[in-house]
Amino acid sequence: MIEPVSARQQRAFSFQARADIDGAVEGYGSVFGVQDSYDDVVMPGAFAASIAAHRAAGTMPAMLWQHDANEPIGVWSEIREDDNGLYMKGRLALATGGGSKAYELLKMGAINGLSIGFMTKSAEWNTETGVREVREIELWEVSLVTFPANTAARVTAVRAADIGKITTIRQAETVLRDAAGFSRDAARAFVAQVKRIESDERDAREVERVGTAALGLLATLNFRR
């Protein structure tokens, strides 16, 4: 089943950064065919349309620090898909405080993560594996991050359009993760609690219905001594 999704999301991957003396950095913003902690697998070709759009517009995804739009730290100069994933190469702005800090931390090995900020344009659920295969991505930015699994909030609200697409428990968990910023465990716990509440309410309604029916029956009976 094809599932278009438009919530803002982030995914992080570890990489071996090379911080040259002139501030050059490179690594993979995404790796193909690897199931991540959100039960997503990015498929080869997922970035092709976004890369083509950037080239046509003469733009590149932003290079940010920890997904902070107010803290650009350099520019990406090369982006392409290869057999491994989304390869990125760029240069830190060493004359700025943010770029210089990132450079020093990269050299020390204090950070080693790249994380993409994107919107999923198309995804398909694989019923055999139970994972969501991401087919097309609109890439906004690629950040240097402290942890290879960044838990920063992704968006601030669940859109009504996303809710309307939910037909399974797994999809509900995915919307909570991608649109509401829940962790995987928190999303599962939330859905489980909703199911328990629904079950309790259904049981309570059944008890009330049976009680009402019993009282109605008693009212119609004509007891004789």
In a domain, 2, yes or no: no
In a domain, 1, yes or no: no
Q: Is the pLDDT of residue 207 over 70?
A: no
Q: Is the pLDDT of residue 41 over 50?
A: yes
- pLDDT band at residue 110, thresholds of 50, 70 and 90? confident
What is the model's pTM? 0.63
Q: Is residue 23 domain-shared with residue 69, that is, in the same domain? A: yes
Q: Is the pLDDT of residue 177 over 80?
A: no
Q: Is residue 159 domain-shared with residue 144, that is, in the same domain? A: no
- Domain boundary, last residue among 130, 151, 172: 151
Dihedral sign for Cα atoms in the order 133, 139, 140, 143: positive
Q: Where is average pLDDT lowest: 40-54, 78-92, 148-162, 167-181?
A: 148-162
Q: Is residue 108 domain-shared with residue 163, that is, in the same domain? A: no
Predicted confidence at residue 111, as pLDDT, reads 79
- What's the CA gap between 141 and 23, in Å, rounded? 19
In a domain, 115, yes or no: yes
Predicted confidence at residue 11, as pLDDT, reads 62
**What average pLDDT does this structure show over 126-155?**
73
- Domain boundary, last residue among 151, 182, 212: 151
**Domain enclosing residue 187, as ranges:** 155-220
Q: Residue 65, class by beta-carbon neighbours within 10 Å (0-12 exposed, 13-18 middle, 19+ buried)?
A: buried
Percent of the chain at pLDDT above 90? Answer: 26
For 92-143, the DSSP string reads E-TTSHHHHHHHHHHHHTS--EEEEEEEEEEEEEETTTTEEEEEEEEEEEEE
| Sequence-separated (6 or more) residues with CB below 8 Å from residue 133 | 40, 41, 43, 123, 124, 125, 126
**What average pLDDT does this structure show over 175-183?**
58
